Structure 1
């Protein structure tokens, strides 16, 4: 039998953030992952402290960034990879009215650090932006695919990753430990994304799941080094390639790209992109979303060594280290969870 302090199920953004907290505090662990969940892999990876549709602050944006950025910096150093790319985000204005709303938002104390007060004039003939842009500060792009791929390799070297489906029926639970096959652990954390719907211990948590589709285009004439937010995001990823996304589908729960999703992205892109482009990739994934747009974190109602870390939604890059830190402190230091992220908030 192998003895560890933690079993972690899943290897997406939430799991990696929690495992980094375990590594930093010298806790032993093993990860089980079956590659079934694609949301972290296909995510555009933007971290952005402002909700650009309504010009409002992301929930606890400052606190999230203060934990997230050092977490990813440490991963870069330990794994010798580059994943955090600082990136300007330009919000395309559709009218003078939107410019005025932007300026009103810059006067808000919470938003002042993140919104530039200078209107940026469009000088790119391949983009239709007659009213210019507003610039979002302290933003960037995390290369989630590079992160997850390299983190798994890193875990394999230390024998901390098992790539196979987790068989819930083989989990044996006692008061002070859990046993799974040949592994005994003090605690188990389920960070499975939408895969939690198959988890008999937490399948009742109110996780909706929203399908998102993303395309990658090659547009040699576009030549921008900043992201544009309009009806869709356009994000430069190098070599004249750009990520374009994303769609929101609340009924389709498959990871399969669709013709409808592709057509929607292309239609919206053509409302402001004036140059030719070629689609070189099209992917989809199910985001683990909740009705109140807050994560789902906490312990099982009866089995006090079973925990869930889920519901990161569309902003997993920013929020994953924040909620991982909260769960770690809850388990190890008995610090209560914020009621806004606790799974108990839905108890009647």
Structure 2
């Protein structure tokens, strides 16, 4: 009898699996690689909503939890995933500069936003009104991290790489069973794949398709991420991730020509160096109507639980909510009403 069965292995699944390992709980993971949003995401950890210069939900708590979590993972797996660098927010007008300074005065933001205007030193970028700098930010190499953790699971015989058939799950009062495997609890961390989960179909999950292009630009040599109408994120070796798009009408996983053209058009408004497009990726973000995650227990089955709806900030929010769910299940610590799925019952 295992303690937990985890269905899905993106950022949510990894975050909960590591909570279980840290607390000496036994578990198995089912993952068929059908959902791509974690693997194609930009990977930025950023506590500030840069469109409106406001703090993300529980920004400080989430950032502190995320850095501790990813640092511990680096030590555990003997790999490097964290790349710290500032984000430079391109100002579009003097009015935006003034709004930035007003935001800098707010107690929750002054830890992250720099009062000093950053003048553009990149000759290939058209930045007439300069930058604002966000501190305590950077990128997690999600693809590398998921691959390293998957290898760790395989070595410990904790990963099953087949599709999970929900109808085969047998639910008893004190355990669940799937094809001969018994566990006290099952956690669904399926991302947008939750739309095919009959147990949680009552929840208002939404899909938001995001696409990126990867470019190669030898002359740019960025040391920070740039945020204008889109992000330019340095990946190393003159490769940059540019995006992302937001499309809640298209639920297909394939990348599109229209998104590519949209990203190129926005990039060309301020990047003046020549560049080459080397790849394009797409994924469906699992989002919610109130922009808060889905965390909690099924209203009918006490041993069935959910960790989903991390949206576009999964890198930041995943470790925080995974810990909250674990403490709720193991120590009966109440969940915040704003993330508990009971808010939709």
State the TM-score, normalizing by the size of structure 1.
Answer: 0.98
Map of 2:91 onto structure 1: 93
CA shift for structure 1 position 271: 0.7
What SS class does the counterpart of residue 151 from structure 1 fall into? helix
The gaps in structure 2 that reach 5 residues or longer are none
Q: 1:279 aligns with which of 277, 280, 290?
A: 277
Q: 1:207 aligns with which of 202, 205, 210?
A: 205
Map of 1:29 onto structure 2: 27
CA shift for structure 1 position 346: 2.0
> Following the alignment from structure 2 to structure 1, what is the Cα–Cα distance between the partners of residues 50 and 28?
38
Aligned: 1:139 with 2:137: yes
> Following the alignment from structure 2 to structure 1, what is the Cα–Cα distance between the partners of residues 89 and 325?
34
Aligned: 1:74 with 2:72: yes
> Following the alignment from structure 2 to structure 1, what is the Cα–Cα distance between the partners of residues 262 and 322?
34
Q: 1:265 aligns with which of 263, 266, 270?
A: 263
Q: 1:224 aligns with which of 222, 234, 241?
A: 222
Mapping of residues 101-120 of structure 1, within 5 Å: 101-120=99-118
CA shift for structure 1 position 124: 1.2
Mapping of residues 1-348 of structure 1, within 5 Å: 3-347=1-345
What SS class does the counterpart of residue 162 from structure 2 fall into? coil
What SS class does the counterpart of residue 225 from structure 1 fall into? coil
CA shift for structure 1 position 182: 1.9
> Following the alignment from structure 2 to structure 1, what is the Cα–Cα distance between the partners of residues 269 and 15?
37
> Following the alignment from structure 2 to structure 1, what is the Cα–Cα distance between the partners of residues 155 and 68?
24
Q: Output one character per residue of 1:73-129: Cα deviation in whole Å (capped at 9) or x when no partner.
A: 111111111111101100001111111000000000110100000000011110000
Q: Which moved more, 1:310-319 or 1:197-206?
A: 197-206
> Following the alignment from structure 1 to structure 2, what is the Cα–Cα distance between the partners of residues 21 and 81?
19
Number of equivalenced pairs: 345
State the TM-score, normalizing by the size of structure 2.
Answer: 0.99
What SS class does the counterpart of residue 289 from structure 1 fall into? strand
> Following the alignment from structure 2 to structure 1, what is the Cα–Cα distance between the partners of residues 204 and 324?
20
CA shift for structure 1 position 223: 1.1
> Following the alignment from structure 2 to structure 1, what is the Cα–Cα distance between the partners of residues 251 and 148?
27
What SS class does the counterpart of residue 234 from structure 2 fall into? strand
What SS class does the counterpart of residue 212 from structure 1 fall into? strand
The gaps in structure 1 that reach 5 residues or longer are none
Q: Output one character per residue of 1:45-90: Cα deviation in whole Å (capped at 9) or x when no partner.
A: 0010100000000110111012111111111111111111101100
Structure 1 segments, 4+ long, off by >3 Å, are none
> Following the alignment from structure 1 to structure 2, what is the Cα–Cα distance between the partners of residues 238 and 327?
35
CA RMSD of aligned residues (A): 0.6
What SS class does the counterpart of residue 107 from structure 2 fall into? coil
> Following the alignment from structure 1 to structure 2, what is the Cα–Cα distance between the partners of residues 53 and 109?
19
Q: Which moved more, 1:65-74 or 1:318-327?
A: 65-74
> Following the alignment from structure 1 to structure 2, what is the Cα–Cα distance between the partners of residues 87 and 239?
16
